[in-house]
Structure 1
């Protein structure tokens, strides 16, 4: 059975949440109130982020300078090469900003990768965020569950999800297996979702061949992760 990979960006590939780092430094008053409403469940992430992006007080040059300082998981570049060598399609699915993802990956020497994310646009005096990958009934900017359904086809019927946080909770239940970082580990445990806890893409690279050939087992996980 062949696989495809969906991978979150903020906090999974990048070592920090890009929009959070921008808001902390350049956000006008009001962005925290939107964050609080989202945390309380009063609004979805799409409405929250669209409002927050309008409150960013920086021009394109300043944005680029900020993005150029963002670090990524040191094992991600090797993981990309490994997936390509194994013939496994890899797509980044993010509730973040497409421009930021493309620039950060290019800064780290990564080849162009398929990216499904919100579209960031400079409007001359402010920023706007569009959500071309939203779905009816989903309050996220990018519906990752729809991405999983699209990735699952006759050529690649199984889906591996790699993520770290709340934007990955729903889609993890639709994937066949999950490589989970941080809060997603606890969610997978609580929900009984088949997963492997990882701290880095070095560990993901150690696990991927075993997942593909069907020899990855719960008893083998501690040994594989310890050696990665």
Structure 2
């Protein structure tokens, strides 16, 4: 059975959440209130991030300097190379910032990878966030469930999701298997989602042969990736 791989970025590939690091340093008053509303479920991540991005006070040069300090899992490049060698389509699917993802990966010597994320735009002296991958009835900027469904239809019948946090909860319930970091481990345990806990991409790379030979995944037909 063929597989495709969807990988979250912030906290999964990167060692920190990029938007959080930007807000901590450059956020104007008001971004914390938006964060509190999101955590309380009063607004979705798309509305929260659009408001927070408008409150970032830094110019493009300062943004680049900040992004150039962001570190990633040192084993991700080897994981991406092995996925390519094995013929596994890999796509970065993030509720974060497309510009940041491309620049950070390039800084670490990775070749261009498919990235599905919110679009960050500098306009008239301030930042704007656009969400070209949002979906009806989904409050996230990037509807990862929709991307997973498309991946199953066009790339491979089974979907592996690799993530770490709340933005990965929904899609992990629809994926065929999950490599889980941090908070996603607890969610998978509580929801009974087939998964392997990992802390590094070296562990993810080591698990790929077992994913492909079927010994890692419970014997079952591919799951239906319904979009909420």
Scaled by the length of structure 2, the TM-score of the pair is 0.94
User: Take 2:215 and 2:123, find their aligned partners in 1: how far apart are those partners?
Assistant: 51
User: 1:87 — aligned with what?
Assistant: 87
User: Take 2:135 and 2:151, find their aligned partners in 1: how far apart are those partners?
Assistant: 16
Following superposition, the deviation at residue 216 of structure 1 comes to 2.1
User: Take 1:167 and 1:67, find their aligned partners in 2: how far apart are those partners?
Assistant: 21
Alignment of 1:148-187 (within 5 A): 148-153=148-153, 156-187=156-187
Alignment of 1:130-145 (within 5 A): 130-145=130-145
Distance verdict in 2 for CA 1:214–1:44, change over 3 Å: same
Aligned-residue Cα RMSD (Å) equals 1.0
User: 2:225 — aligned with what?
Assistant: none
Moved over 3 A (4+): none
SS at match of 1:152: helix
SS at match of 1:38: helix
Distance verdict in 2 for CA 1:31–1:86, change over 3 Å: same
User: Take 1:216 and 1:117, find their aligned partners in 2: how far apart are those partners?
Assistant: 29
User: Take 1:80 and 1:154, find their aligned partners in 2: how far apart are those partners?
Assistant: 20
Scaled by the length of structure 1, the TM-score of the pair is 0.94
User: Take 2:39 and 2:194, find their aligned partners in 1: how far apart are those partners?
Assistant: 27
Deviation by residue 1:93-116 (Cα, 9 ceiling, x = unmatched):
000000000000000000000000
Aligned partners of 2:4 and 2:155 also within 8 Å = no
User: Take 1:213 and 1:68, find their aligned partners in 2: how far apart are those partners?
Assistant: 39
Following superposition, the deviation at residue 213 of structure 1 comes to 1.2
Following superposition, the deviation at residue 192 of structure 1 comes to 0.2
The count of residues paired between Structure 1 and Structure 2 equals 218
1:201 matched to 2:201? The reply is yes
Following superposition, the deviation at residue 209 of structure 1 comes to 1.3
Aligned partners of 2:134 and 2:140 also within 8 Å = yes
Following superposition, the deviation at residue 153 of structure 1 comes to 2.5
